[in-house]
Amino acid sequence: MSIGVTLIVSLENRKQSFSIPGSVILNLIAGRIYPAYFAFPLVCTLTMVGASSCYLLSRTFAKRLLMLCCSERIKSTGKAMESHKSDMLWYMTFLRLIPMSPNWLINITAPIVGVPFGTFAASVFIGLMPYNFSTYPLIHRLYSNMGVVPLVTQCCVTDL
């Protein structure tokens, strides 16, 4: 059990830290290997830790580069964030809940536009819970007692 956790922790942290897509795959693997009471808190925590690593990397290394490349957009985003200063946690959580908002972009730009680290980490943990939870039942739907069922079937698509 510890080798699986170590592998998932290592892959998820690196994937999230560098904003590489594919968290659904690791969530599915964790959901298949471990029971829900272990897999769900694990993937929520790993998502938060990995996104926080991306936040810290961006704050440390990418701020100057992004300010050179697109300073006007960052300044306008910073002004928009100022208007949500009193409800920053809820605003950031709302951004995470919207499926159309690019989480990688939020992870990279949050430290540059002035989102506090604690608020950022909490919004990732809370805001991505529905996404992380939705992948757990999916893996059990994809696997049957006879083995792996085709990835896209009529019942699977309609359940999504």
List, for residues 111-130, the tens digit of each pLDDT value.
988 899 999 999 999 999 99
Selected residue with higher pLDDT from 120 and 27: 120
Q: Which residue has the tokens 């989480």?
A: 103
Q: Which domain holds residue 154?
A: 2-159
**Helix, strand, or coil here: 102?**
coil
pLDDT above 50: residue 151: no
Q: What is the DSSP letter of 148?
A: E
- Per-residue burial over 53-62, b if 16 or more Cβ lie within 10 Å, else e, is bbbebbeeeb
Residues forming beta bridges with residue 69, ordered by sequence position: none
- The whole-chain average pLDDT of the chain stands at 80
Within the chain, residue ranges assigned H as helices are 2-17, 23-33, 36-57, 63-82, 88-97, 103-109, 117-127, 129-142, 154-159
